[in-house]
Amino acid sequence: MKILVVGGAGYIGSHVVADLCEKGNDVFVFDNLYSGSIENIDKKAKFIMGDVNSENDLDKLFKIKFDIVFHFAALKAAGESMDNPEIYSKNNINGTINLLNTMVAHDIKKIVFSSSAAVYGYPKYLPIDEKHTIKPINYYGYTKKVIEEILNWYGKLKEINYATLRYFNAAGYDINERIKEREKTTANLLPIVLECAVGLREKLNIFGDDYNTLDGTGIRDYIHVNDLSNAHLKAMDYLNKNKNNLVLNLGTGHGYSVLEVIKMAKKITGKEIKHSVIDRRAGDPEKLIASSDLAKKTINWEAEHSDLEKILTSMWNLYSKI
Ligand SMILES: NC(=O)c1ccc[n+]([C@@H]2O[C@H](COP(=O)([O-])OP(=O)(O)OC[C@H]3O[C@@H](n4cnc5c(N)ncnc54)[C@H](O)[C@@H]3O)[C@@H](O)[C@H]2O)c1
């Protein structure tokens, strides 16, 4: 198959590109390298530098007749999206509209879209399933909500067939070590913990230890990036065989607390991880856990590599080389 991966130089996209190439697909990566790394693109894929904000770049790109599009390109820092919503509107919402309109103009009908657990906002119940209310509490989550709604309309009006995948906390690196460069600017807990282990950071701030959890620290559902990638390939197979659209959570159904993460990181790295507790951060729920029963039912997917030890070990393979 001829496959376009928009944002395929990024953290999750590069893992999916590696898997798509391994399966013998003809893969094209389109990326502006804002946060991606060219070294992480599988050598079998063709790289095209470009921006989803440029209709001209997209028109040139779609001279190639793709069978399906994967869309990873977005800005993803929730905090930054509250300070600077304009760039999130432009990059995430406008960029996706440009991409969809170009797909329509070139009669390309299938897309797998990276959405996020951020569409749900505060959990009303756990685990969160796909029927949970959609009420984002940051602008980043709002951009994903808007794109999901646009996909729904384009599905009805333009016969675009989509799989919307709502990731919980993506973590880990390729267990087969095909990905060489780590993410350089991430605000996620696990990379920060390992940055402390290698001395790139002095210490970790824990935002509150008085939550209603076993050790008082917040709990999140961490999903290994190889599991995420696997779900993308299964979603693609589904779209190739069915006319139905998919909206699926991707998580594990259980979570780890901040202190559990620190303890496991100490065990794996053999390093001290200095930390101190500061005030809770506004907008942080105590627990976020996904139900992925629907993904199991519809695409026969479930997490296989997402226990904390395996996730952190796969990350340590990269961080220990710094
Ligand atoms: N990482 C997570 O935990 C997580 C969780 C939920 C959802 N997501 C979503 O998954 C997707 C991929 O996330 P990631 O962690 O791989 O992020 P990333 O920043 O590593 O990858 C995004 C890629 O898109 C490219 N890009 C950004 N803007 C672009 C533009 N205008 N034109 C062309 N390319 C552009 C970047 O250069 C980068 O290579 C994003 O849509 C993100 O919102 C990520």
Q: Delineate the domains of the chain, giving CATH numbers in brackets.
A: 2-171+223-250 (3.40.50.720), 189-221+253-319 (3.90.25.10)
Question: Which pair of tokens denotes residue 88?
Answer: 């999130």
Question: Please, which pLDDT band fits residue 183 given cuts at 50, 70 and 90?
Answer: very high
* Cα 216 to middle of ligand 1, angstroms: 31
Q: What is the pLDDT of residue 94?
A: 98
> What would the pLDDT profile of 238-258 be if each residue is shown by its tens digit?
999 999 999 999 999 999 999
- Ligand 1 pocket, mutate which of 12, 42, 94, 120 (most atoms under 8 A from CB): 12
> What would the pLDDT profile of 264-314 be if each residue is shown by its tens digit?
999 999 999 999 999 999 889 999 999 999 999 999 999 999 999 999 999
CA distances from 159 to 66, 108, 154 (A): 16, 10, 6
Residue of the nearest CA to atom 10 in ligand 1? 114
Ligand 1, CB within 6 Å, residue ranges: 7, 9-13, 31-36, 51-53, 72-74, 76, 91, 95, 114, 116, 167, 169-170, 183
> What would the pLDDT profile of 138-178 be if each residue is shown by its tens digit?
999 999 999 999 999 999 999 999 999 999 999 999 999 99
Using an 8 Å Cβ cutoff, are 313 and 320 in contact?
no
pTM: 0.98
Q: What is the pLDDT of residue 322?
A: 87
- The answer, yes or no, to whether residue 185 has pLDDT greater than 90, is no
CA distances from 308 to 125, 315, 320 (A): 24, 11, 17
* Cα 43 to middle of ligand 1, angstroms: 20
Q: Which residue has the tokens 């170009």?
A: 102
Using an 8 Å Cβ cutoff, are 5 and 30 in contact?
yes
- The answer, yes or no, to whether residue 260 has pLDDT greater than 90, is yes
Q: What is the pLDDT of residue 283?
A: 87
Q: What is the pLDDT of residue 25?
A: 98
Residue 107 — left, alpha, or beta (φ > 0 → left; ψ -120 to 50 → alpha)? left
> What would the pLDDT profile of 210-220 be if each residue is shown by its tens digit?
999 999 999 99
Q: What is the mean pLDDT of residues 33-48?
A: 97
| Distance (Å, whole) CA 68 – CA 305 | 27
Q: What is the pLDDT of residue 269?
A: 98
Question: Which pair of tokens denotes residue 251?
Answer: 């998580």
Pairing between β-strand 110-116 and β-strand 222-224 as defined by DSSP bridges: unpaired
> What would the pLDDT profile of 50-95 be if each residue is shown by its tens digit?
999 999 999 999 999 999 999 999 999 999 999 999 999 999 999 9
Adjacency order of strands within the sheet including 219-220:
256-257, 219-220, 287-288
Task: For the chain, count helices (H), then strands (E).
Answer: 11, 14
